[in-house]
Structure 1
Amino acid sequence: MRTPKWAILAYVAITLFGILAALPNILSQAQQQQFASYLPVGPVTLGLDLKGGSHLVLEVDAAGLRQARLNTLLDDARGALRAERIPASSARINGDAVVMTIADEANRTKVLPKIQELAVPTGTLGFGTTSSDIEVTTNNDTITVRLTEAGLTERMTAAVDQSLEIIRRRVDQVGVAEPLIQRVGSDRILVQLPGLQDPTRLRQLLGSTAQMSFHMLDQSVDPNGVAPRGVDILPGANDGAKYAVENRVAIAGDRLADAKAGFNQQTNEPIVSFTFDTQGARQFAEITRDNVGRPFAIVLDGKVLTAPVIREPIVGGQGQISGNFTAQEATILSALLRSGALPAPLTIIEERSVGPNLGSDSIRMGIYTGLAGFVLVVSLMVILYGAWGMIANIGLLLHTILTIGVLGMLGSTLTLPGIAGIILGIGMAVDANILINARIREETAAGAGAMKALDVGFNKAYATIIDSNVTALTGTVLLFMFGTGPVRGFAITMMIGIIISMFTSITVVRLMMQQFVIRRKMKKLDIPWLFGPVRHLPSFSFMRGRFIAIGMSAFLSISSIILFFTPGLNYGIDFVGGIQVEATSNVELDLGKLRSELEGLNIGEVALQEFGQNRSVLIRVQRQPGGEQEQTLALNQIRESVTAVIPDVSFERTEVVGPTISAELARSGFLAVALAMLAILFYIWWRFEWHFAVGAIAVLLLDITKTIGFFALTGIDFNLTAIAAVLTMIGYSVNDKVVVYDRMRENLRKYKSMPFSDLIDMSINQVLARCIFTSMATALSLVPMAIWGGDAVKSFAWPMIFGVIVATTSSIYIGGPILLVLSRWWQAREAARAPVPGEISKA
């Protein structure tokens, strides 16, 4: 119990720094600015689900990027062929290559060096060497130009980097404060925009490639007929007409220097004025000089914006686009042109938005449920341990403050599941204090003095605390690795909470208890509960009823497996994809009229769930056939239909998950569960013995199947938050088993001749109070969240409460019997393998 002064000073410094780091979260903005020089960090950043905003994940179209490069190679190859007076029709695209068939060997020899010059270096690839993005091969009379994987990878990297910069410029045009724009993986970009409730305008900005180009019209071709080679039939962007456009680009869109939205002074209609750079102005002057009287098409993303007739040469390098635009459309188009063309199309594969009203409600709910859970846990500790429970409560309060402080120091984003993680962390942090107090009671009952009971109690509890927290951390780390968005926020708060709970329980609480004993000059350390002295340890015989317990557990698990298939889980859109919209109104909703309007859209099955005194509705629509663009189109139709039925509607939350992202989320979620079980298996095997590890996993499988059955029976959404609940339950369940196993291991060393069944009974009785009290504390911290937390955390709180109950009962009634069966099987196997001694016969 001797603690060096430098260690005490370090503990005090860490505690004070953590309190200072958490302090900005209770100060107003004016106070934060006033004391900014004294505070180490700013307040915790709130996630979009707490302050409102939009979250989009965009994916660079790899196929489109490949095709664009092939088209460029084809045009360049035909140019090289024409330069050598070889028919351009000799070149064509075949799969992922450009193929040129040239019968004359002399022509092949002349054109081959020019084809090889089309290669673009992919960049430095180590040791100063460069690699080409194409591979040119010859076979008889055929020259093949094929894209290399290294070239495509480098081109994808460059496209994502370029898209990042263009998206930043486009977002700036919208004027969103503090946007988060970052690369995710090799081909995706995450865009988070606080405060932007309706991302429709932004979706138009981000989803459009804005590939603008200028072409001459071919007036000799009927636009309603079949286009000859070198001509494309393109639709009009606004008038629905068709245009015969030469596919040769007269002026590329990247020659634009500036674009501005304005109004035509004569007609007062919205227009977009543009200015070319020096080279573009020279090209524009030449084209307008040589083609007076001919139509000149301005093409944006494959559609003709306008096709004015050139009346006279334009030498100033300036022009304007008109086409029955609205003012908003003109503003968006000018923003697209100013920011430049994206190198490849971007597809929105995930979209989530939360209104500011729902965000503020979430913050208020999180604070209220957190305080309620904290009060319930504090009350339980006072009931169980009296004045000593207040010392543990000081440690709990410090644990909560330090958790928030560390979140601020790490710059983590606090989400609604993150608040749930803090609340759950409070309940689980009690475990260490319950273990310590239980050990101290045992040492006092054995006749130890106050300081010895404190010393031995902490030392014996220390290994158990470490083992149980490591197993809980295992699932949380995997949840962070494979989770996404708010679920990772939950994992971060849980990891921080688990680590801080070891610091507060093992150091801070120990020092406070030590000082209390010294200053009171206590000879004996009694820890009574609020209603008097603690009774002696129980002596239940759990092994006698082991067959009944295992039979009941097996029956419930088999029933849960049947429920898993019939009726099955209610998978959320995280896993099956689709659209979810939460809408509110100031008047009562007519769900019948709304359902009729939505079903008329022919977008599949529509589910409506009313809540909030018939003034709020949750609309769910199945995943649309096709890709991600079909999901976005259906969302726009839903919003328009709801607005038509409910004029004062407010969209509090929208979620669109396409088929790509839903499949990945499902795969990563289930993989995290499987890896968590494997990691726990190896850890327990390493810390204990093989039959302890196998027993823990067997019981864990029974716990998981029952929890899955609970999801199927109640119909609660099985989504990413549910996966978080399952992983947390796994950590909690194994935490419980480790405490029981640790006591068994200790008793095995102490009572070597005791029958194993009796030793199991004694060990379970010794930790029975701890298992029940820890479960009560954890459940009490979750109850307010389950009742008042809302739909966002309901799929986490209720399954966790159920999982805590199941994990506790399995630790008491199932873990021991399975361990006994495994131990007896192993002993019988070893006895059967032992050599039989030879008989000694009488001579």
Structure 2
Amino acid sequence: MKLPSFKSIAVLIVSLVSIVTVFPNFIDDETLSNLPDFMPKQEIVLGLDLQGGSHLLLQVNEDDIVQGRLADIRRDARALLIQAGIGSIITTSGPNLDVELTDSSQLQQAREILAPLQVTLEGNLFQTGSIQETTVTTTGGRVRITLTEDAITSRMSALVAQSLEVIRSRIDEVGTTEPIIQRQGDSRILVQVPGFGDSERLKDLISQTARLTFHLVYPSMTAAQAEAQGLPAGTIIVPSNDGFDELLYEDVALGGEQLIDAQPSFDQNGQPVVTFRFNTQGALAFGEITSENVGRRFAIVLDDQVITAPTIQQPITGGTGQISGTFTPETASDLAVLLRAGALPATLDVVEERTVGPSLGADSINAGITAGIIATIGVVIFMFVAYGTFGLFANLALLLNIAMMLAVLSLLGATLTLPGIAGIVLTIGVAVDSNVIIFERIREEFAAGRTAAQSISSGFQRAMLTVVDANITTLIAAAVLFFLGSGPVQGFAVTLAIGVVTTMFTAYTVTQIFIEFWYRRRRPKTLRVNLLEKFLPLEPKIPFMKWRIPALVISGLLTLGAIAAPLISGLNLGIDFTGGTAIELQAREGDADIIDLRERLGLLELGEVQVQEFGTPRDVLVRIGIQEGGDAAQQVAVSQVTQAVDENYEVRRTEAVSGTVSGELAMSGTIGIIVAMIGIVIYVWLRFEWQFGVGALAALLHDALMTIGLFAVFRLEFNLTSIAAILTVIGYSLNDTVVIYDRIRENLVKYKRVSLAEIINMSLNQTLARTILTGGTSALALLALVFFGGEVIRDFTIAMAWGVFVGTYSSIFVSAPVLLYLGVKTRADAEVEKPKAERRTDGAAV
């Protein structure tokens, strides 16, 4: 019973470090700044769903890149052909430029003239070799110039790198704190800005290309005349802010890359304007252009729209100018920020948007804390009532476990999300499971005739492997969630994984030290571990295997029903999987008027718009389907809704997901469930035998399908967090199953002349107390989340609470009975087969 002193010292140090590390999270900023330098000051990073802020996933517009590059090639091709006196009509088709010649006999000559446009790009730091950017071929009596796929991919990757720096500069100009700007793959950029609730302004700041160019206006024809008579060579029609199109020369007279400064200001009439200043080279070019074109109009074009087109009154040689238009002070300031930071090298589309207002974030924190406190109190009382002194030790270990989880989150700088809080609360409920396994083993050892000291020592030793086996399955599910999930789901996976590790440490090592210290002081002759044995038989004689056929029939029918439900009524898919927009509103005064909202939003003509109650009578959830016109149209729809309800409602949360991203999320979720199942089954197979792996797979499929059936029958929203719920249910179910399998394997070795059915019955009855107690504590924690955790994650927590029930049921009536039909060998079977094997060996030797 005497533990090495270094173990006690290590536990004491870990406990003190955890408490000191967590301490900064519970004091105000002023007190924290006054702490000594040697004290840790790292706080837990709150996710956007807790502190409010904006999450945007931007994607480089491939069509914009292709068309932009083809426009450059078209100008070069036209110039080469005009110089050679060859007439042509150049058209664009996808990544191709087709050059139709007015004289087909000049085809070969045109091919040779355009040959220099077949360009090979040198590889960059991350690429080896060269890339063929364009190919020039002759086909069907025309010359075709094609932009290759490799060149498009390479250019997109390079433009993402450039865009990262431009976005970072723009956000830094606004003065936000701790933004996250990350590259995702070859074509996407993730931007998360905590505390920035104005998503519309943020989108304008970071997704607007801000490509500024200066063009001379075509003097002798209007845009309307050009549309009727045909465009003069080298001209383009560009829309204007005032609603009238302008006919401009296509060639850029001067580019915005020559700007070195831009500031918001006011003109002589007090109207907001943006003043700009060129560098030396730009100032010379600007002075030359204005000197040579006095009396002509000069257009300032921002992102393919004419902002202003004033007439040049006199040469401007100072390298400065101003942009006037219908600005407000804020829009003028934002435009100045865009121009100072520089233009994005490509158009960025918003393919995913998640914005949470600060009030909803505060409510989520309060709801999570309330659920956590209630769950902790419930579990502490439950364990103390069930185990008395031993329960007190488990509760002390549980409190340390919570402190360690928070400490690890602080040290890692991990982001705590609302599902992450749910992960902590779930850990509180499941954490005592390891203690229950140990305590029940101690009770069994003492009931078998061992002394108190022997029972405690043997109980910890023999329970250790079961504790590890039971928690590995949850770790597998958490790992899959982290690598295949995103955002809040990853936060849930992190807290779940940290909780598993800290639970194994505190439940085994810390509890062992408490009990060892208690035993050395008290030296009890008898042990009363489970106080419920006076009221309930802890090892009943329930004939579970006699009920296996009715139970399997019921399970089969319910499983078929769970499969049929989504096929008949369909799943209530969230925007994560369907695409579209969800906007949570809260009435500024009184209750929400849903009928009025439906009528008001119906006037916007956005297609199918759903308006439903969400939580309290003041809260409403608005859903909008995917808009025709792509991502840009989706963003316009979001703006229209928020503007239409702004007077009476506060926008607390906005989620917008494009069709492309929703398809990817659905695929990654499906893959996640499959990968988790395969990983868990392989682990069970390796730790036990193949029959146990098949039994585990049967239980997993049963639990996953039953949970999906719950979503279908009760019309709960099925989204990314639902995938997390299914994986959590799978992990919990296998936790229970592995404990039972461990006992079956032990009894197979221990009992020689007992049938497999009797061994399974015995094992189920021996672990029944642990099953009920763990289910009870898990249910307490999850019910606290269901009733007090907030509306945002209610469907998620309902699914996990349901999973506690179906997981417990499948461990007893699915995974265990399957072993009877798969030929698991008992010790008696092995003894019978052994002589046969020996006789075959002897015969072979003769």
> Which TM-score applies when normalising by structure 2?
0.92
Deviations 1:737-786 (A, max 9, x none): 11111111001111132111111111111101111111111111111110
1:255 equivalent in alignment to 2:258:
yes
Deviations 1:236-271 (A, max 9, x none): 1x2111111111111112112222221111x22221
Residue of structure 1 equivalent to 2:843? none
Deviations 1:496-548 (A, max 9, x none): 00011111112111111112112212334331416858745211111111111
- Residue identity matched to 1:230: G
Between stretches 525-534 and 253-262, larger displacement belongs to: 525-534
Task: Tell me by how many angstroms 1:603 deviates.
Answer: 1.3
1:228 equivalent in alignment to 2:232:
yes
Does the CA-based 8 Å contact 2:135-2:145 persist in structure 1?
A: yes
Residue of structure 1 equivalent to 2:806? 806
1:786 equivalent in alignment to 2:790:
no
1:625 equivalent in alignment to 2:624:
no
Task: Tell me by how many angstroms 1:121 deviates.
Answer: 3.1
Residue of structure 1 equivalent to 2:771? 771
Paired residue for 2:379, among 360, 377, 382? 377
Deviations 1:358-413 (A, max 9, x none): 11111111111101001111111111111110001111111110000000111101
1:580 equivalent in alignment to 2:582:
yes
Residue of structure 2 equivalent to 1:491? 493
Task: Tell me by how many angstroms 1:631 deviates.
Answer: 1.3
Counterparts of residues 11-22 of structure 1 (less than 5 Å):
11-22=11-22
Task: Tell me by how many angstroms 1:733 deviates.
Answer: 0.6
Counterparts of residues 715-730 of structure 1 (less than 5 Å):
715-730=715-730
Does the CA-based 8 Å contact 1:134-1:145 persist in structure 2?
A: no
Counterparts of residues 258-273 of structure 1 (less than 5 Å):
258-265=261-268, 267-273=269-275
Change (3 A) 1:152 1:554: same
Counterparts of residues 61-76 of structure 1 (less than 5 Å):
61-76=61-76
- Residue identity matched to 2:4: P
Task: Tell me by how many angstroms 1:625 deviates.
Answer: 2.7
Distance in structure 1 (CA, Å) of the matches to 2:117 and 2:597 = 61
Task: Tell me by how many angstroms 1:723 deviates.
Answer: 1.1
1:299 equivalent in alignment to 2:301:
yes
Counterparts of residues 588-603 of structure 1 (less than 5 Å):
588-603=591-606
Task: Tell me by how many angstroms 1:104 deviates.
Answer: 7.9
- Residue identity matched to 1:134: E
1:407 equivalent in alignment to 2:409:
yes
Task: Tell me by how many angstroms 1:609 deviates.
Answer: 2.2
Deviations 1:546-581 (A, max 9, x none): 111111111211122221122222111111112111
1:360 equivalent in alignment to 2:359:
no
Deviations 1:144-175 (A, max 9, x none): 65445554333222211211111112223333
User: Alignment identity in percent?
Assistant: 43
Change (3 A) 1:725 1:95: closer
Does the CA-based 8 Å contact 1:589-1:616 persist in structure 2?
A: yes
Distance in structure 2 (CA, Å) of the matches to 1:95 and 1:327 = 41
Distance in structure 2 (CA, Å) of the matches to 1:242 and 1:350 = 32
Task: Tell me by how many angstroms 1:133 deviates.
Answer: 5.2
Change (3 A) 1:269 1:133: farther
1:57 equivalent in alignment to 2:60:
no
Residue of structure 2 equivalent to 1:427? 429
- Residue identity matched to 2:485: G
Between stretches 538-547 and 332-341, larger displacement belongs to: 332-341
Residue of structure 2 equivalent to 1:194? 194
Paired residue for 2:244, among 221, 233, 241? 241
Distance in structure 2 (CA, Å) of the matches to 1:110 and 1:495 = 64
1:569 equivalent in alignment to 2:571:
yes
SS in 2 for 1:297: strand
Does the CA-based 8 Å contact 1:768-1:812 persist in structure 2?
A: no
Residue of structure 2 equivalent to 1:8? 8
Distance in structure 2 (CA, Å) of the matches to 1:153 and 1:611 = 43
Task: Tell me by how many angstroms 1:31 deviates.
Answer: 2.1
Paired residue for 2:643, among 640, 651, 668? 640
SS in 2 for 1:287: helix
Distance in structure 2 (CA, Å) of the matches to 1:365 and 1:52 = 15
SS in 2 for 1:743: helix
Residue of structure 1 equivalent to 2:734? 734
User: What CA RMSD, in Å, does the superposition of the two structures yield over aligned residues?
Assistant: 2.6
Distance in structure 1 (CA, Å) of the matches to 2:137 and 2:200 = 50
- Residue identity matched to 1:456: S
Residue of structure 2 equivalent to 1:216? 216
Residue of structure 1 equivalent to 2:25? 25
1:152 equivalent in alignment to 2:152:
yes
Does the CA-based 8 Å contact 2:57-2:190 persist in structure 1?
A: yes
- Residue identity matched to 1:157: S
Change (3 A) 1:479 1:613: closer
Residue of structure 2 equivalent to 1:391? 393
Distance in structure 1 (CA, Å) of the matches to 2:80 and 2:3 = 82
SS in 2 for 1:709: helix
- Residue identity matched to 2:237: I
Residue of structure 1 equivalent to 2:347? 345
Distance in structure 2 (CA, Å) of the matches to 1:94 and 1:268 = 48
Distance in structure 2 (CA, Å) of the matches to 1:38 and 1:348 = 44
SS in 2 for 1:725: helix
- Residue identity matched to 1:409: L
SS in 2 for 1:615: strand
Does the CA-based 8 Å contact 1:528-1:534 persist in structure 2?
A: no
Deviations 1:666-688 (A, max 9, x none): 11111101111111111111111
Distance in structure 2 (CA, Å) of the matches to 1:739 and 1:97 = 64
Aligned length: 823
Does the CA-based 8 Å contact 1:122-1:133 persist in structure 2?
A: no
Does the CA-based 8 Å contact 1:136-1:143 persist in structure 2?
A: no
Change (3 A) 1:562 1:111: closer
SS in 2 for 1:178: coil
Distance in structure 2 (CA, Å) of the matches to 1:694 and 1:20 = 47
Task: Tell me by how many angstroms 1:93 deviates.
Answer: 4.8
Task: Tell me by how many angstroms 1:492 deviates.
Answer: 0.1
Task: Tell me by how many angstroms 1:347 deviates.
Answer: 0.5
Distance in structure 2 (CA, Å) of the matches to 1:750 and 1:180 = 57
Distance in structure 1 (CA, Å) of the matches to 2:319 and 2:379 = 73
Task: Tell me by how many angstroms 1:211 deviates.
Answer: 1.2
Residue of structure 2 equivalent to 1:841? none
Does the CA-based 8 Å contact 2:111-2:136 persist in structure 1?
A: no
Between stretches 563-572 and 429-438, larger displacement belongs to: 563-572
Change (3 A) 1:145 1:595: closer
Residue of structure 1 equivalent to 2:561? 559
Deviations 1:53-110 (A, max 9, x none): 111111111232232222223333444555x645484866554245668948778667
Distance in structure 2 (CA, Å) of the matches to 1:123 and 1:145 = 24
SS in 2 for 1:619: strand
Change (3 A) 1:632 1:816: same
Point out where structure 2 has 5 or more consecutive residues left out of the alignment.
Answer: 841-846
Deviations 1:130-150 (A, max 9, x none): 525525556699876544555
- Residue identity matched to 1:297: A
Residue of structure 1 equivalent to 2:649? 649
Change (3 A) 1:32 1:767: same
Paired residue for 1:290, among 289, 292, 301? 292
Distance in structure 1 (CA, Å) of the matches to 2:357 and 2:136 = 57
Paired residue for 2:450, among 448, 451, 455? 448
Residue of structure 2 equivalent to 1:180? 180
Counterparts of residues 461-540 of structure 1 (less than 5 Å):
461-529=463-531, 532=534, 535=537, 537-540=539-542
Does the CA-based 8 Å contact 2:584-2:621 persist in structure 1?
A: yes
- Residue identity matched to 1:121: E
Distance in structure 2 (CA, Å) of the matches to 1:301 and 1:325 = 16
SS in 2 for 1:200: helix
Distance in structure 2 (CA, Å) of the matches to 1:479 and 1:223 = 56
Task: Tell me by how many angstroms 1:24 deviates.
Answer: 1.2
Counterparts of residues 635-784 of structure 1 (less than 5 Å):
635-643=638-646, 647-784=647-784
Does the CA-based 8 Å contact 1:291-1:310 persist in structure 2?
A: yes
SS in 2 for 1:271: strand
SS in 2 for 1:434: helix
Task: Tell me by how many angstroms 1:635 deviates.
Answer: 0.9
Task: Tell me by how many angstroms 1:648 deviates.
Answer: 4.2
